[in-house]
């Protein structure tokens, strides 16, 4: 099975290739380099579907997409769907993390609970759609640690661990992470659909 992955995030591409081992992931930049991927909606699921629909329309191929982010309880679920641009459009990971830490600096650690959320979707040219999701709970720390992840990973310690997500090797992280859970669920649905 071949599919275009509607993302230009190289970290996500790497993870999805591992998680969907039965799917040949085709690069969006080669098939539809001009395609803009919009995330205008208030839910991860709606944003993921919008990207996959755009990719399948542009390429005529099965499209896979995800939308994911961090929800912090003390911030009423923010940054949420705005995780990648929390500090503004085209914000860097460092800028987003600096904003997160600034907003949480006066919040006690036991109240900095959070969860990563991922919606993973497939959209066929026929219009058939498939959706799966995954979450991974944790807490935010103010001092970032580790270089193995991206996004907010240096500041998130998953439940039951003392390491940050950026200190955990990718293969191990994919066994419990939000993206790992979402795409394993999607892979099972794809197997059943085949």
Provide φ and ψ at 155, rounded to 5°.
-110, 5
How confident is the model at residue 193, as a pLDDT?
83
Q: How far is CA 114 from CA 14, 36, 55, in A?
A: 24, 30, 31
DSSP 189: H
* 66 included as an active-site residue: no
pLDDT in tens, 54-97: 999 999 999 999 999 999 999 999 999 999 999 999 999 999 99
Q: Which of 29, 66, 67, 153 is catalytic?
A: 67
Domains identified in the chain and CATH numbers: 2-193 (3.90.950.10)
Q: Answer yes or no: is pLDDT of 160 > 90.
A: yes
Determine the average pLDDT of the residues in 95-120. 97
How confident is the model at residue 121, as a pLDDT?
98
């Amino acid at each position: 099975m071949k599919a275009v992955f509607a993302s230009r995030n190289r970290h996500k591409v790497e993870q999805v290739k591992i998680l969907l081992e039965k799917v040949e992931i085709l690069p969006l930049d080669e098939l539809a380099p001009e395609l803009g991927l919009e995330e205008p909606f208030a839910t991860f699921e709606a944003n993921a579907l919008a990207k996959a629909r755009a990719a399948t329309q542009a390429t005529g191929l099965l499209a896979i997409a995800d939308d994911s982010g961090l929800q912090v309880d003390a911030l009423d679920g923010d940054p949420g769907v705005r995780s990648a641009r929390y500090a503004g459009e085209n914000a860097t990971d460092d800028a987003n993390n600096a904003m997160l830490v600034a907003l949480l600096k006066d919040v006690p650690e036991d109240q900095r609970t959070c969860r990563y959320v991922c919606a993973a979707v497939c959209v066929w040219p026929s219009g058939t759609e498939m959706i799966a999701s995954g979450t991974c709970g944790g807490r935010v720390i103010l001092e970032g640690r580790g270089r193995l992840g991206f996004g907010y990973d240096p500041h998130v310690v998953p439940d039951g661990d003392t390491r940050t997500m950026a200190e955990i090797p990718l293969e191990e992280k994919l066994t419990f992470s939000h993206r790992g859970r979402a795409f394993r669920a999607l892979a099972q649905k794809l197997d059943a659909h085949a």
